[in-house]
Protein backbone atom coordinates (compact mmCIF):
# COMPACT_ATOMS: atom_id res chain seq x y z
CA UNK A 1 0.00 0.00 0.00
CA UNK A 2 1.15 3.51 -0.75
CA UNK A 3 2.18 5.25 2.47
CA UNK A 4 2.55 9.02 2.72
CA UNK A 5 2.70 11.48 5.57
CA UNK A 6 -0.89 12.27 6.55
CA UNK A 7 -0.30 15.99 7.04
CA UNK A 8 2.33 16.34 4.32
CA UNK A 9 -0.28 15.06 1.88
CA UNK A 10 -2.50 18.01 2.66
CA UNK A 11 0.18 20.52 1.84
CA UNK A 12 1.13 18.59 -1.29
CA UNK A 13 -2.33 18.87 -2.79
CA UNK A 14 -2.76 22.50 -1.84
CA UNK A 15 -5.46 22.25 0.82
CA UNK A 16 -3.68 23.61 3.83
CA UNK A 17 -4.22 22.54 7.38
CA UNK A 18 -3.42 24.89 10.22
CA UNK A 19 0.35 24.22 10.00
CA UNK A 20 0.36 25.41 6.41
CA UNK A 21 -1.95 28.27 7.30
CA UNK A 22 0.62 29.48 9.80
CA UNK A 23 3.17 29.60 6.97
CA UNK A 24 0.78 31.77 4.95
CA UNK A 25 -0.92 34.00 7.53
CA UNK A 26 -2.07 36.44 4.87
CA UNK A 27 -4.48 33.98 3.27
CA UNK A 28 -8.08 34.51 4.39
CA UNK A 29 -10.86 32.37 2.97
CA UNK A 30 -13.73 34.66 4.03
CA UNK A 31 -13.66 38.47 4.12
CA UNK A 32 -16.69 40.44 5.34
CA UNK A 33 -16.66 43.76 3.49
CA UNK A 34 -17.89 47.10 4.81
CA UNK A 35 -20.79 47.21 2.33
CA UNK A 36 -22.27 43.93 3.62
CA UNK A 37 -20.88 41.80 0.83
CA UNK A 38 -18.69 38.78 1.52
CA UNK A 39 -15.63 37.71 -0.47
CA UNK A 40 -15.02 33.96 -0.48
CA UNK A 41 -11.57 32.59 -1.39
CA UNK A 42 -10.56 28.98 -1.92
CA UNK A 43 -7.09 27.56 -2.54
CA UNK A 44 -6.65 24.42 -4.64
CA UNK A 45 -4.29 24.08 -7.64
CA UNK A 46 -5.98 20.86 -8.82
CA UNK A 47 -9.58 22.17 -9.08
CA UNK A 48 -11.12 22.63 -12.53
CA UNK A 49 -14.42 24.19 -11.44
CA UNK A 50 -15.28 25.76 -8.08
CA UNK A 51 -18.53 27.19 -6.74
CA UNK A 52 -19.47 28.60 -3.36
CA UNK A 53 -22.86 27.68 -1.90
CA UNK A 54 -24.00 30.00 0.90
CA UNK A 55 -27.45 30.22 2.42
CA UNK A 56 -28.02 33.91 1.69
CA UNK A 57 -27.12 33.65 -2.02
CA UNK A 58 -27.35 30.01 -3.13
CA UNK A 59 -24.75 28.43 -5.40
CA UNK A 60 -22.50 30.76 -7.38
CA UNK A 61 -19.41 30.26 -9.59
CA UNK A 62 -15.97 31.32 -8.38
CA UNK A 63 -13.31 32.84 -10.62
CA UNK A 64 -9.71 31.64 -10.72
CA UNK A 65 -7.62 34.68 -9.78
CA UNK A 66 -4.21 32.97 -9.56
CA UNK A 67 -2.65 29.55 -10.15
CA UNK A 68 -4.36 28.09 -7.10
CA UNK A 69 -6.84 30.65 -5.70
CA UNK A 70 -10.53 30.96 -6.62
CA UNK A 71 -12.64 33.93 -5.56
CA UNK A 72 -16.24 35.24 -5.52
CA UNK A 73 -17.91 38.24 -3.86
CA UNK A 74 -21.60 37.87 -2.96
CA UNK A 75 -24.26 39.85 -1.16
CA UNK A 76 -24.88 42.16 0.50
CA UNK A 77 -26.48 40.09 3.27
CA UNK A 78 -27.94 40.93 6.67
CA UNK A 79 -25.66 40.40 9.66
CA UNK A 80 -26.13 36.83 10.92
CA UNK A 81 -24.57 33.35 10.82
CA UNK A 82 -24.82 31.46 7.51
CA UNK A 83 -23.83 27.91 6.53
CA UNK A 84 -21.69 27.65 3.39
CA UNK A 85 -19.46 25.22 1.51
CA UNK A 86 -17.36 25.02 -1.62
CA UNK A 87 -18.35 22.75 -4.52
CA UNK A 88 -15.13 21.54 -6.12
CA UNK A 89 -15.58 19.67 -9.41
CA UNK A 90 -19.04 18.61 -8.27
CA UNK A 91 -18.05 17.59 -4.73
CA UNK A 92 -19.16 19.62 -1.70
CA UNK A 93 -16.48 20.31 0.92
CA UNK A 94 -16.13 22.42 4.04
CA UNK A 95 -13.85 25.43 3.98
CA UNK A 96 -10.48 23.99 5.10
CA UNK A 97 -9.50 27.36 6.59
CA UNK A 98 -12.67 27.93 8.65
CA UNK A 99 -12.62 26.80 12.30
CA UNK A 100 -16.42 26.80 12.69
CA UNK A 101 -18.53 24.04 11.20
CA UNK A 102 -22.12 22.78 11.13
CA UNK A 103 -22.43 19.45 13.01
CA UNK A 104 -24.73 17.12 11.08
CA UNK A 105 -25.31 13.45 10.39
CA UNK A 106 -24.97 14.12 6.68
CA UNK A 107 -23.95 17.37 4.99
CA UNK A 108 -20.81 19.17 6.11
CA UNK A 109 -20.90 22.98 6.04
CA UNK A 110 -18.70 25.71 7.42
CA UNK A 111 -20.15 28.72 9.26
CA UNK A 112 -19.83 32.37 8.25
CA UNK A 113 -20.50 35.21 10.66
CA UNK A 114 -21.39 38.61 9.24
CA UNK A 115 -21.04 40.99 12.19
CA UNK A 116 -23.51 43.69 13.11
CA UNK A 117 -22.75 47.30 12.29
CA UNK A 118 -20.65 49.25 14.74
CA UNK A 119 -22.66 50.11 17.84
CA UNK A 120 -25.17 47.32 17.21
CA UNK A 121 -25.23 43.67 18.23
CA UNK A 122 -26.89 40.35 17.46
CA UNK A 123 -28.55 38.08 20.03
CA UNK A 124 -25.91 35.37 19.54
CA UNK A 125 -22.83 37.62 19.75
CA UNK A 126 -20.10 36.53 22.15
CA UNK A 127 -20.01 39.49 24.53
CA UNK A 128 -17.99 40.40 27.59
CA UNK A 129 -20.56 39.02 30.03
CA UNK A 130 -20.50 36.09 32.48
CA UNK A 131 -20.69 32.84 30.51
CA UNK A 132 -22.27 29.59 31.56
CA UNK A 133 -20.64 26.20 31.14
CA UNK A 134 -21.40 23.58 28.53
CA UNK A 135 -21.10 19.93 29.58
CA UNK A 136 -21.06 16.85 27.36
CA UNK A 137 -22.67 13.89 29.12
CA UNK A 138 -23.10 10.17 28.43
CA UNK A 139 -25.71 7.97 30.10
CA UNK A 140 -26.84 4.40 29.71
CA UNK A 141 -30.33 4.30 28.20
CA UNK A 142 -32.48 1.34 29.17
CA UNK A 143 -34.81 2.30 26.30
CA UNK A 144 -31.96 1.94 23.79
CA UNK A 145 -30.02 -0.75 25.65
CA UNK A 146 -27.07 1.42 24.69
CA UNK A 147 -25.18 4.56 25.74
CA UNK A 148 -26.70 7.85 24.62
CA UNK A 149 -25.35 11.38 24.88
CA UNK A 150 -26.54 14.95 25.35
CA UNK A 151 -25.25 18.46 26.05
CA UNK A 152 -26.11 20.47 29.16
CA UNK A 153 -25.83 24.25 29.53
CA UNK A 154 -25.40 25.55 33.09
CA UNK A 155 -25.96 29.27 33.78
CA UNK A 156 -23.10 31.40 35.15
CA UNK A 157 -24.35 31.22 38.75
CA UNK A 158 -24.64 27.41 38.78
CA UNK A 159 -22.63 25.91 41.63
CA UNK A 160 -22.94 22.18 42.26
CA UNK A 161 -21.91 22.74 45.90
CA UNK A 162 -24.76 25.18 46.54
CA UNK A 163 -27.54 22.62 46.77
CA UNK A 164 -29.97 25.23 48.10
CA UNK A 165 -30.29 26.88 44.69
CA UNK A 166 -32.07 24.88 41.99
CA UNK A 167 -33.01 25.68 38.41
CA UNK A 168 -35.79 25.04 35.88
CA UNK A 169 -34.91 22.97 32.81
CA UNK A 170 -35.52 23.54 29.08
CA UNK A 171 -35.19 20.47 26.82
CA UNK A 172 -34.24 21.88 23.41
CA UNK A 173 -34.12 19.56 20.39
CA UNK A 174 -32.48 20.08 16.99
CA UNK A 175 -33.87 19.07 13.60
CA UNK A 176 -33.71 16.21 11.12
CA UNK A 177 -30.10 15.01 10.50
CA UNK A 178 -28.83 17.46 13.14
CA UNK A 179 -26.73 16.22 16.04
CA UNK A 180 -27.23 17.35 19.62
CA UNK A 181 -24.47 19.93 19.04
CA UNK A 182 -26.36 22.07 16.53
CA UNK A 183 -28.32 24.24 18.96
CA UNK A 184 -24.96 24.88 20.65
CA UNK A 185 -22.57 25.44 17.73
CA UNK A 186 -25.04 26.85 15.19
CA UNK A 187 -27.99 27.94 17.33
CA UNK A 188 -25.68 29.54 19.93
CA UNK A 189 -28.23 28.86 22.68
CA UNK A 190 -25.57 29.39 25.35
CA UNK A 191 -24.48 32.84 24.17
CA UNK A 192 -28.05 33.99 23.52
CA UNK A 193 -29.02 33.08 27.08
CA UNK A 194 -25.77 34.47 28.55
CA UNK A 195 -26.56 37.84 26.95
CA UNK A 196 -30.20 37.83 28.06
CA UNK A 197 -29.24 36.93 31.63
CA UNK A 198 -26.67 39.71 31.73
CA UNK A 199 -29.39 42.17 30.68
CA UNK A 200 -31.96 40.76 33.12
CA UNK A 201 -34.24 39.73 30.25
CA UNK A 202 -34.53 35.99 30.98
CA UNK A 203 -34.83 33.64 33.92
CA UNK A 204 -31.88 31.47 34.89
CA UNK A 205 -32.30 27.94 33.59
CA UNK A 206 -30.51 24.76 32.64
CA UNK A 207 -30.78 23.85 28.94
CA UNK A 208 -30.50 20.23 27.85
CA UNK A 209 -29.79 19.35 24.21
CA UNK A 210 -30.85 15.73 23.53
CA UNK A 211 -29.87 13.79 20.40
CA UNK A 212 -33.04 13.53 18.32
CA UNK A 213 -32.17 10.38 16.34
CA UNK A 214 -30.85 7.86 18.90
CA UNK A 215 -31.48 4.81 16.69
CA UNK A 216 -28.45 5.93 14.66
CA UNK A 217 -26.29 5.08 17.66
CA UNK A 218 -27.29 1.41 17.52
CA UNK A 219 -25.06 -1.14 15.80
CA UNK A 220 -27.02 -2.78 12.96
CA UNK A 221 -30.13 -0.73 13.79
CA UNK A 222 -33.15 -1.48 11.58
CA UNK A 223 -33.36 0.65 8.43
CA UNK A 224 -36.93 1.56 9.34
CA UNK A 225 -36.83 2.86 12.92
CA UNK A 226 -40.64 2.89 12.99
CA UNK A 227 -40.45 -0.80 13.85
CA UNK A 228 -38.77 0.19 17.11
CA UNK A 229 -41.52 2.59 18.18
CA UNK A 230 -40.83 6.10 19.44
CA UNK A 231 -37.36 5.44 20.80
CA UNK A 232 -36.56 9.14 21.24
CA UNK A 233 -39.58 9.79 23.45
CA UNK A 234 -39.01 6.68 25.55
CA UNK A 235 -35.38 7.65 26.09
CA UNK A 236 -36.23 11.29 26.85
CA UNK A 237 -38.90 10.56 29.45
CA UNK A 238 -37.54 7.36 31.00
CA UNK A 239 -33.76 7.81 30.76
CA UNK A 240 -32.51 11.32 30.03
CA UNK A 241 -34.85 13.26 32.31
CA UNK A 242 -34.16 11.00 35.32
CA UNK A 243 -30.43 11.33 34.64
CA UNK A 244 -30.63 15.14 34.54
CA UNK A 245 -32.72 15.33 37.69
CA UNK A 246 -30.34 13.00 39.56
CA UNK A 247 -27.12 14.71 38.49
CA UNK A 248 -28.05 18.42 38.38
CA UNK A 249 -29.74 20.92 40.68
CA UNK A 250 -33.17 20.96 39.06
CA UNK A 251 -36.70 21.92 40.08
CA UNK A 252 -38.71 18.85 39.19
CA UNK A 253 -42.27 19.90 38.49
CA UNK A 254 -44.27 20.82 35.41
CA UNK A 255 -44.10 24.57 36.06
CA UNK A 256 -40.30 24.39 35.88
CA UNK A 257 -39.90 22.22 32.79
CA UNK A 258 -40.03 23.42 29.18
CA UNK A 259 -39.62 21.53 25.93
CA UNK A 260 -39.26 22.61 22.32
CA UNK A 261 -37.18 22.42 19.20
CA UNK A 262 -36.58 23.22 15.56
CA UNK A 263 -38.06 21.28 12.62
CA UNK A 264 -38.23 17.59 13.59
CA UNK A 265 -37.19 18.69 17.08
CA UNK A 266 -40.20 21.02 17.20
CA UNK A 267 -42.46 18.08 16.36
CA UNK A 268 -40.76 15.95 19.03
CA UNK A 269 -40.99 18.78 21.55
CA UNK A 270 -44.69 19.46 21.00
CA UNK A 271 -45.58 15.77 20.89
CA UNK A 272 -43.79 14.98 24.14
CA UNK A 273 -45.00 18.14 25.81
CA UNK A 274 -48.68 17.65 24.92
CA UNK A 275 -48.59 13.95 25.82
CA UNK A 276 -46.97 14.73 29.16
CA UNK A 277 -48.68 17.84 30.47
CA UNK A 278 -48.08 16.51 33.96
CA UNK A 279 -44.36 17.08 33.29
CA UNK A 280 -44.20 20.17 31.01
CA UNK A 281 -46.05 23.48 30.99
CA UNK A 282 -43.92 25.46 28.50
CA UNK A 283 -44.04 24.25 24.88
CA UNK A 284 -42.16 25.81 21.95
CA UNK A 285 -42.21 24.94 18.25
CA UNK A 286 -39.73 26.52 15.87
CA UNK A 287 -40.63 25.93 12.20
CA UNK A 288 -42.71 22.85 12.90
CA UNK A 289 -46.03 21.30 13.97
CA UNK A 290 -47.23 18.01 15.44
CA UNK A 291 -50.08 15.50 15.28
CA UNK A 292 -53.64 16.77 15.60
CA UNK A 293 -54.65 13.44 17.13
CA UNK A 294 -53.45 13.49 20.74
CA UNK A 295 -56.07 12.04 23.14
CA UNK A 296 -57.49 14.25 25.90
CA UNK A 297 -55.67 17.36 24.69
CA UNK A 298 -57.37 19.08 21.77
CA UNK A 299 -60.92 18.07 22.66
CA UNK A 300 -60.56 19.30 26.21
CA UNK A 301 -59.37 22.85 25.60
CA UNK A 302 -60.39 24.31 28.96
CA UNK A 303 -58.31 21.79 30.94
CA UNK A 304 -55.45 21.89 28.43
CA UNK A 305 -55.21 25.69 28.61
CA UNK A 306 -55.05 25.51 32.42
CA UNK A 307 -52.04 23.19 32.22
CA UNK A 308 -50.01 25.16 29.65
CA UNK A 309 -48.19 28.31 30.74
CA UNK A 310 -46.83 28.92 27.23
CA UNK A 311 -47.73 27.35 23.88
CA UNK A 312 -45.48 29.18 21.40
CA UNK A 313 -45.15 28.55 17.65
CA UNK A 314 -42.96 30.40 15.12
CA UNK A 315 -42.77 29.81 11.37
CA UNK A 316 -41.45 31.60 8.31
CA UNK A 317 -44.02 32.26 5.60
CA UNK A 318 -41.28 31.26 3.11
CA UNK A 319 -40.65 27.95 4.93
CA UNK A 320 -41.45 24.74 3.03
CA UNK A 321 -43.30 23.62 6.19
CA UNK A 322 -45.39 26.78 6.31
CA UNK A 323 -48.52 25.28 4.73
CA UNK A 324 -48.80 22.38 7.17
CA UNK A 325 -47.74 24.55 10.12
CA UNK A 326 -50.37 27.16 9.25
CA UNK A 327 -53.01 24.43 9.08
CA UNK A 328 -51.96 23.22 12.53
CA UNK A 329 -52.24 26.74 13.95
CA UNK A 330 -55.72 27.07 12.49
CA UNK A 331 -56.63 23.68 13.98
CA UNK A 332 -55.53 24.87 17.43
CA UNK A 333 -57.63 28.03 17.04
CA UNK A 334 -60.68 25.96 16.10
CA UNK A 335 -60.21 23.76 19.15
CA UNK A 336 -59.87 26.78 21.44
CA UNK A 337 -56.26 26.12 22.41
CA UNK A 338 -54.43 29.34 23.38
CA UNK A 339 -51.15 29.98 21.59
CA UNK A 340 -48.57 32.66 20.83
CA UNK A 341 -47.69 32.88 17.12
CA UNK A 342 -44.82 34.64 15.36
CA UNK A 343 -44.14 34.79 11.61
CA UNK A 344 -41.06 35.81 9.64
CA UNK A 345 -40.46 36.41 5.94
CA UNK A 346 -36.83 37.56 5.84
CA UNK A 347 -34.69 34.67 7.13
CA UNK A 348 -34.63 32.30 4.16
CA UNK A 349 -37.35 29.94 5.34
CA UNK A 350 -36.42 26.70 7.05
CA UNK A 351 -33.08 27.90 8.39
CA UNK A 352 -31.08 28.28 11.56
CA UNK A 353 -31.33 32.04 11.18
CA UNK A 354 -35.01 31.56 12.04
CA UNK A 355 -34.22 28.98 14.72
CA UNK A 356 -31.95 31.44 16.58
CA UNK A 357 -34.45 34.27 16.19
CA UNK A 358 -37.30 32.19 17.61
CA UNK A 359 -35.13 30.97 20.48
CA UNK A 360 -34.18 34.52 21.47
CA UNK A 361 -37.87 35.43 21.71
CA UNK A 362 -38.95 32.42 23.74
CA UNK A 363 -36.04 32.42 26.20
CA UNK A 364 -37.43 35.74 27.43
CA UNK A 365 -40.78 34.06 28.19
CA UNK A 366 -39.81 30.69 29.69
CA UNK A 367 -40.53 30.22 33.39
CA UNK A 368 -42.19 33.62 33.46
CA UNK A 369 -45.94 32.88 33.57
CA UNK A 370 -46.97 36.53 33.44
CA UNK A 371 -44.90 37.31 30.34
CA UNK A 372 -46.05 34.07 28.73
CA UNK A 373 -49.71 34.84 29.35
CA UNK A 374 -49.25 38.30 27.86
CA UNK A 375 -47.54 36.84 24.77
CA UNK A 376 -50.47 34.51 24.16
CA UNK A 377 -53.02 37.23 24.84
CA UNK A 378 -51.38 39.61 22.34
CA UNK A 379 -50.44 36.99 19.76
CA UNK A 380 -50.57 37.55 16.04
CA UNK A 381 -53.60 35.85 14.48
CA UNK A 382 -53.33 32.76 12.32
CA UNK A 383 -52.76 33.91 8.75
CA UNK A 384 -55.47 33.05 6.27
CA UNK A 385 -54.72 30.37 3.69
CA UNK A 386 -53.95 31.63 0.19
CA UNK A 387 -54.29 28.30 -1.59
CA UNK A 388 -50.67 28.50 -2.72
CA UNK A 389 -49.18 26.79 0.34
CA UNK A 390 -47.20 23.63 -0.44
CA UNK A 391 -48.36 20.70 1.70
CA UNK A 392 -45.69 18.69 3.48
CA UNK A 393 -45.83 15.20 2.00
CA UNK A 394 -43.63 12.08 2.05
CA UNK A 395 -42.48 13.14 -1.42
CA UNK A 396 -41.19 16.46 -0.09
CA UNK A 397 -39.40 14.61 2.71
CA UNK A 398 -37.80 12.21 0.23
CA UNK A 399 -36.62 15.11 -1.94
CA UNK A 400 -35.08 16.99 0.98
CA UNK A 401 -33.60 13.93 2.67
CA UNK A 402 -32.77 11.27 0.07
CA UNK A 403 -31.79 7.78 1.19
CA UNK A 404 -28.33 8.19 2.73
CA UNK A 405 -25.16 6.44 1.69
CA UNK A 406 -23.92 4.24 4.56
CA UNK A 407 -20.31 5.11 5.41
CA UNK A 408 -18.55 3.86 7.35
CA UNK A 409 -20.43 0.55 7.48
CA UNK A 410 -19.09 -1.70 10.19
CA UNK A 411 -18.88 -5.45 9.69
CA UNK A 412 -17.73 -8.13 12.08
CA UNK A 413 -14.11 -7.85 11.00
CA UNK A 414 -14.09 -5.07 8.42
CA UNK A 415 -15.18 -1.53 7.62
CA UNK A 416 -16.65 -0.39 4.30
CA UNK A 417 -16.23 3.24 3.26
CA UNK A 418 -18.34 4.81 0.50
CA UNK A 419 -18.30 8.18 -1.22
CA UNK A 420 -20.50 9.62 -3.95
CA UNK A 421 -18.41 11.22 -6.71
CA UNK A 422 -19.86 10.36 -10.14
CA UNK A 423 -17.46 12.59 -12.10
CA UNK A 424 -14.23 11.78 -10.24
CA UNK A 425 -11.37 10.06 -12.07
CA UNK A 426 -9.75 8.72 -8.89
CA UNK A 427 -10.85 8.41 -5.26
CA UNK A 428 -8.70 7.13 -2.39
CA UNK A 429 -9.20 6.53 1.30
CA UNK A 430 -6.51 8.38 3.27
CA UNK A 431 -5.89 6.93 6.73
CA UNK A 432 -4.40 8.60 9.78
CA UNK A 433 -1.41 6.27 9.72
CA UNK A 434 -0.42 7.63 6.30
CA UNK A 435 -1.77 4.90 4.05
CA UNK A 436 -3.61 5.83 0.86
CA UNK A 437 -5.98 3.05 -0.25
CA UNK A 438 -7.49 3.19 -3.77
CA UNK A 439 -11.29 2.96 -3.94
CA UNK A 440 -13.31 1.42 -6.77
CA UNK A 441 -16.56 2.50 -8.38
CA UNK A 442 -19.28 0.16 -7.18
CA UNK A 443 -21.87 1.80 -9.46
CA UNK A 444 -22.11 4.91 -11.67
CA UNK A 445 -21.94 7.28 -8.71
CA UNK A 446 -20.49 5.66 -5.58
CA UNK A 447 -16.88 4.69 -4.85
CA UNK A 448 -16.16 2.17 -2.10
CA UNK A 449 -13.51 0.16 -0.32
CA UNK A 450 -13.81 -2.66 2.21
CA UNK A 451 -10.82 -2.97 4.50
CA UNK A 452 -9.90 -5.17 7.42
CA UNK A 453 -7.07 -2.87 8.47
CA UNK A 454 -7.41 -0.99 11.74
CA UNK A 455 -10.91 -2.44 12.19
CA UNK A 456 -10.91 -2.23 15.98
CA UNK A 457 -8.99 1.01 16.23
CA UNK A 458 -10.39 4.52 16.37
CA UNK A 459 -8.76 6.62 13.67
CA UNK A 460 -9.04 9.73 11.54
CA UNK A 461 -9.54 9.49 7.79
CA UNK A 462 -10.75 11.38 4.74
CA UNK A 463 -11.23 10.87 1.00
CA UNK A 464 -8.80 12.11 -1.64
CA UNK A 465 -10.91 12.98 -4.68
CA UNK A 466 -8.67 13.86 -7.64
CA UNK A 467 -6.31 15.68 -5.29
CA UNK A 468 -8.93 17.33 -3.09
CA UNK A 469 -9.35 16.17 0.50
CA UNK A 470 -12.96 15.66 1.60
CA UNK A 471 -14.40 14.65 4.96
CA UNK A 472 -16.86 11.75 4.78
CA UNK A 473 -20.26 13.44 4.31
CA UNK A 474 -22.06 10.34 5.62
CA UNK A 475 -20.19 10.23 8.92
CA UNK A 476 -21.49 12.44 11.73
CA UNK A 477 -18.23 12.22 13.70
CA UNK A 478 -15.70 14.94 12.82
CA UNK A 479 -12.31 15.57 14.37
CA UNK A 480 -12.41 19.14 15.73
CA UNK A 481 -9.10 20.21 14.19
CA UNK A 482 -8.15 23.85 13.67
CA UNK A 483 -7.77 23.48 9.91
CA UNK A 484 -9.06 20.73 7.66
CA UNK A 485 -11.42 18.50 9.67
CA UNK A 486 -11.13 14.76 9.26
CA UNK A 487 -13.79 12.16 9.88
CA UNK A 488 -13.45 9.69 12.76
CA UNK A 489 -14.04 5.95 12.36
CA UNK A 490 -14.68 3.89 15.47
CA UNK A 491 -16.07 0.35 15.25
CA UNK A 492 -18.85 -0.16 17.83
CA UNK A 493 -16.81 -3.03 19.26
CA UNK A 494 -13.57 -1.05 19.36
CA UNK A 495 -11.92 -0.52 22.75
CA UNK A 496 -13.20 2.55 24.58
CA UNK A 497 -16.16 3.06 22.26
CA UNK A 498 -19.16 4.28 24.25
CA UNK A 499 -21.38 1.98 22.17
CA UNK A 500 -19.77 -1.13 23.64
CA UNK A 501 -19.43 -0.08 27.29
CA UNK A 502 -22.75 -1.26 28.64
CA UNK A 503 -24.37 0.04 31.79
CA UNK A 504 -21.54 1.84 33.56
CA UNK A 505 -21.26 5.23 35.24
CA UNK A 506 -19.91 8.07 33.09
CA UNK A 507 -18.17 11.30 33.92
CA UNK A 508 -18.73 14.68 32.30
CA UNK A 509 -16.62 16.88 30.04
CA UNK A 510 -17.10 20.50 31.01
CA UNK A 511 -16.15 23.23 28.53
CA UNK A 512 -15.16 26.56 30.02
CA UNK A 513 -16.10 29.10 27.37
CA UNK A 514 -14.25 31.97 29.05
CA UNK A 515 -10.78 30.43 28.71
CA UNK A 516 -11.41 27.83 25.98
CA UNK A 517 -10.51 24.79 28.03
CA UNK A 518 -12.07 21.39 28.63
CA UNK A 519 -12.03 19.28 31.79
CA UNK A 520 -13.21 15.74 32.47
CA UNK A 521 -14.65 15.00 35.91
CA UNK A 522 -15.21 11.36 36.90
CA UNK A 523 -18.57 9.95 38.06
CA UNK A 524 -17.34 9.95 41.67
CA UNK A 525 -14.47 12.31 42.35
CA UNK A 526 -13.14 11.57 45.83
CA UNK A 527 -10.93 13.88 47.86
CA UNK A 528 -7.73 13.78 45.78
CA UNK A 529 -8.37 12.36 42.31
CA UNK A 530 -5.47 11.74 39.96
CA UNK A 531 -4.82 14.93 37.95
CA UNK A 532 -3.59 14.77 34.36
CA UNK A 533 -2.99 17.78 32.14
CA UNK A 534 -3.65 16.93 28.51
CA UNK A 535 -1.72 19.28 26.26
CA UNK A 536 -3.26 19.56 22.76
CA UNK A 537 -1.15 19.36 19.60
CA UNK A 538 -0.53 22.28 17.28
CA UNK A 539 -3.51 21.37 15.08
CA UNK A 540 -5.85 20.53 17.97
CA UNK A 541 -8.62 22.47 19.70
CA UNK A 542 -9.85 22.24 23.28
CA UNK A 543 -12.18 19.43 22.14
CA UNK A 544 -9.57 17.23 20.44
CA UNK A 545 -8.36 15.14 23.39
CA UNK A 546 -11.97 14.11 24.03
CA UNK A 547 -13.61 13.90 20.60
CA UNK A 548 -10.65 12.54 18.66
CA UNK A 549 -8.68 11.12 21.56
CA UNK A 550 -11.58 9.62 23.52
CA UNK A 551 -9.96 10.59 26.83
CA UNK A 552 -13.29 10.62 28.67
CA UNK A 553 -14.26 7.20 27.30
CA UNK A 554 -10.90 5.72 28.34
CA UNK A 555 -11.24 7.11 31.86
CA UNK A 556 -14.87 5.99 32.20
CA UNK A 557 -14.12 2.40 31.25
CA UNK A 558 -10.88 1.98 33.22
CA UNK A 559 -12.48 3.48 36.33
CA UNK A 560 -15.54 1.22 35.94
CA UNK A 561 -13.27 -1.84 35.61
CA UNK A 562 -11.24 -0.85 38.66
CA UNK A 563 -8.08 -0.46 36.58
CA UNK A 564 -7.77 3.27 37.22
CA UNK A 565 -8.47 5.61 40.09
CA UNK A 566 -10.95 8.47 39.77
CA UNK A 567 -9.17 11.17 37.78
CA UNK A 568 -9.52 14.68 36.44
CA UNK A 569 -8.29 15.23 32.88
CA UNK A 570 -7.89 18.85 31.83
CA UNK A 571 -6.52 21.07 29.08
CA UNK A 572 -6.65 24.00 31.53
CA UNK A 573 -3.02 24.76 32.39
CA UNK A 574 -3.84 27.29 35.13
CA UNK A 575 -6.25 24.86 36.81
CA UNK A 576 -3.65 22.09 36.67
CA UNK A 577 -0.80 24.34 37.88
CA UNK A 578 -2.72 25.52 40.94
CA UNK A 579 -4.06 22.13 42.01
CA UNK A 580 -2.79 20.63 45.25
CA UNK A 581 -2.27 17.03 44.16
CA UNK A 582 0.58 15.62 42.08
CA UNK A 583 0.31 16.60 38.42
CA UNK A 584 0.90 14.27 35.48
CA UNK A 585 1.33 15.71 31.97
CA UNK A 586 0.62 14.12 28.59
CA UNK A 587 1.57 15.99 25.41
CA UNK A 588 -0.18 15.16 22.14
CA UNK A 589 2.87 16.34 20.23
CA UNK A 590 4.93 13.45 21.67
CA UNK A 591 2.94 10.97 19.55
CA UNK A 592 2.16 10.66 15.83
CA UNK A 593 -1.41 9.34 15.90
CA UNK A 594 -4.39 9.41 18.21
CA UNK A 595 -4.08 5.66 18.78
CA UNK A 596 -0.61 6.22 20.19
CA UNK A 597 -1.95 9.03 22.37
CA UNK A 598 -4.81 6.87 23.60
CA UNK A 599 -2.40 4.07 24.51
CA UNK A 600 -0.19 6.55 26.38
CA UNK A 601 -3.19 7.81 28.37
CA UNK A 602 -4.30 4.26 29.14
CA UNK A 603 -0.80 3.39 30.40
CA UNK A 604 -0.63 6.53 32.52
CA UNK A 605 -4.05 5.94 34.10
CA UNK A 606 -3.28 2.34 35.00
CA UNK A 607 0.14 3.23 36.41
CA UNK A 608 -1.35 5.90 38.69
CA UNK A 609 -3.94 3.47 40.11
Tens of pLDDT along 79-125? 999 999 999 999 999 999 999 999 999 999 999 999 999 999 999 99
Tens of pLDDT along 507-539? 999 998 888 999 999 998 877 899 999 999 999
Lowest mean pLDDT among 207-211, 395-399, 415-419: 395-399
Both 15 and 137 in one domain: the answer is: no
Instruction: Give the number of other CB atoms < 10 A from CB of residue 291.
Output: 13
Look up the pTM and report it.
0.93
Domain that includes residue 438, residue range: 409-490
Both 349 and 437 in one domain: the answer is: no
Q: Which CATH number is 446's domain given?
A: 2.60.40.10
Residue 296: pLDDT band with limits 50, 70, 90: very high
Residue 568 sits at φ, ψ, to 5 deg, of -115, 130
Q: Report the pLDDT averaged over residues 327-342.
A: 97
Q: Which CATH number is 511's domain given?
A: 3.40.50.1820
Count helices and strands (H / E) in the chain: 16, 33
Is the model's pLDDT at 214 over the cut of 80? yes
Both 102 and 25 in one domain: the answer is: yes
Both 362 and 422 in one domain: the answer is: no
| Residues 312 and 375 sit within 8 Å (Cβ to Cβ) | yes
266 CA to centre of own chain:
16
Both 12 and 52 in one domain: the answer is: yes
Both 470 and 540 in one domain: the answer is: no
Mean pLDDT, the chain, whole residue set: 92
Query: Taking the CA of residue 268 as centre, how many other CA atoms within 13 Å lie in the half-sphere pointing to its CB?
Result: 25
Give the chain's domain count: 4
Residue 498 lies in a domain: no
Residue 386 lies in a domain: no
Residue 3: pLDDT band with limits 50, 70, 90: very low
Both 7 and 74 in one domain: the answer is: yes
Distance CA 502, CA 444 (A): 41
Residue 384 sits at φ, ψ, to 5 deg, of -70, 150
Residue 404 lies in a domain: no
Residue 282 lies in a domain: yes
Residue 79 lies in a domain: yes
Is the model's pLDDT at 152 over the cut of 70? yes
Both 438 and 542 in one domain: the answer is: no
Q: What percent of the chain has pLDDT over 90?
A: 84
Both 153 and 110 in one domain: the answer is: no
Q: What is the pLDDT of residue 221?
A: 55
Amino acid sequence: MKKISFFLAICAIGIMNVCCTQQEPEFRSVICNADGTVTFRYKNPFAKDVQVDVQFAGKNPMTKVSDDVWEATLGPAAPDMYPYNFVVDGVSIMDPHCPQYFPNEGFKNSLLEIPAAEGQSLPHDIKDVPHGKVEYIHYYSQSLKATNHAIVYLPPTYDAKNTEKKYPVFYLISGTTDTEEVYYKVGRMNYILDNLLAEGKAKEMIIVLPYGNPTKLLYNAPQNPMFMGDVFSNDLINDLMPYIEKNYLTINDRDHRAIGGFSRGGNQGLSNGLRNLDKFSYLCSYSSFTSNNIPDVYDNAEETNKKINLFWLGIGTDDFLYGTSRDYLEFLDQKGIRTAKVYTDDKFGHTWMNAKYFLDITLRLLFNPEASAEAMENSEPTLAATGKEEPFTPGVMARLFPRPIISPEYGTDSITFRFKAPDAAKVSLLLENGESLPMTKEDEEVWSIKTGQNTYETFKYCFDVDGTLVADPSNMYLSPDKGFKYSIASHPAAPYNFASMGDIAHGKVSYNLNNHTATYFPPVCGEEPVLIELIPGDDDTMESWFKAGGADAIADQLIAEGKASPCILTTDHEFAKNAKQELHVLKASDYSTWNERRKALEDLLTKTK
